[in-house]
Amino acid sequence: MRPLDQPGAGMIRAHDVTIGGLRTHYLEAGDASAAPLLLLHGWPEWSHVWRPVMQRLDQAFHLYAPDFRGFGQSDKTFSAPGADATPERLAHDVLDFMDALGVTRAGIVAHDVGSFVAQVLARQAPQRVRALFFFNCAYPGIGARWVAPDHLMEVWYQFFHQQAWAAELIGSSRTTCRIYLREFLRHWAYRQDTFDAELDTWVDNFMLPGNLQGGFNWYVSNHASRMAVIKGTAAVPPPIDLPTRVFWGRHDPVLKAEWTDRLPAFFSNLELSIAEDAGHFVHYEMPNEAAEEIRKFFGRVPA
């Protein structure tokens, strides 16, 4: 693995842009003349998680990795539980971000939270999306399996994060925050030590003022739509027709690989394969393979 930000190995640049009064932080790499790719993160993540992939793709694409509102170094919109981080709101933020940077159309690479946002983008503004690449995609076809009896122990956090005191409790000390994040990073990764060298970087980020609550607000904001999918009351959206590539970690305990079974009903132009040696964080656990799959896919998709 190449050291991050090593001179000669590709330089990642950090910027801020203010859109509608909201400061959005983002990472950028690559040549401005290359095809643009937007990298959309999940939880417990922020733009930083894309660095290994960005280092490997900086010669092929113009890469942007924004922090969603409430995450990383982007502005926090609520200091208490708030519901302004719906997939639709975040998708609108992404479109505003693209407009501010002069990006008319881009390939989208998404994971976890980002996969919700990317699907909204693809349905509401398909002309702005060249193609979709997902790692472990949360999509409506999962349905009630989110809360199947044998899966409840994997999704407890989605309900815990909605408690008004959750961020205060987890952020009550650096030790508490470290224990909490370490559990997810170790349990969700196929190899438990994947994040050990950078665990304190994760703790540093989520101990910044508002970052725990900012991330938890995703779960507050998405609860109603998630429950509608689980109950079967949500309208079934039409399939997305854009070229779509899904690279799903075999050993993800929270977004199970067997849940790929209904993807063709929601993506009509689909390429699917399994990352055999990864869990939830395919892009971070195996960045060489992840970057190569991204490169190959967008290399054969019309510009």
What is the CATH number for 166?
3.40.50.1820
Strand ordering across the sheet containing 129-135 = 13-19, 22-29, 61-66, 35-40, 106-111, 129-135, 244-249, 270-275
Single pTM value for the model:
0.96
Q: How far apart are CA 178 and CA 206, in angstroms?
A: 9
Residue 210 lies in a domain: yes
Q: Is residue 112 domain-resident?
A: yes
Q: Provide the residue range defining the domain that includes 291.
A: 13-300
Q: Is 1 domain-assigned?
A: no
CB 53 within 8 A of CB 294: yes
- Which amino acid would we find at residue 280? H
Strand-pairing partners, residue 267, are 240
> Could you give the residue numbers annotated as active site?
112, 219, 280
Query: Quick check: is 180 in a domain?
Result: yes
- Rounded to whole angstroms, the Cα distance separating 79 from 103 reads 31
Determine the Cα–Cα distance for residues 162 and 157; give it in Å rounded to an integer.
9
Task: Give how far Cα 124 sits from Cα of 82, 121, 178, Å.
Answer: 24, 5, 38
Q: How many domains does the chain have?
A: 1
Per-residue pLDDT tens digits of the chain, which is 303 residues long: 233 344 334 699 999 999 989 999 999 999 999 999 999 999 999 999 999 999 999 999 999 999 999 999 999 998 899 999 999 999 999 999 999 999 999 999 999 999 999 999 999 999 999 999 999 999 999 999 999 999 999 999 999 999 999 999 999 999 999 999 999 999 999 999 999 999 999 999 999 999 999 999 999 999 999 999 999 999 999 999 999 999 999 999 999 999 999 999 999 999 999 999 999 999 999 999 999 999 999 999 998
In a domain, 280, yes or no: yes
Whether 7 is in a domain gets the answer no
Q: Which has the closest alpha carbon to 64: 90, 92, 30, 88?
A: 30
Question: Does some domain include residue 6?
Answer: no
Whether 71 is in a domain gets the answer: yes
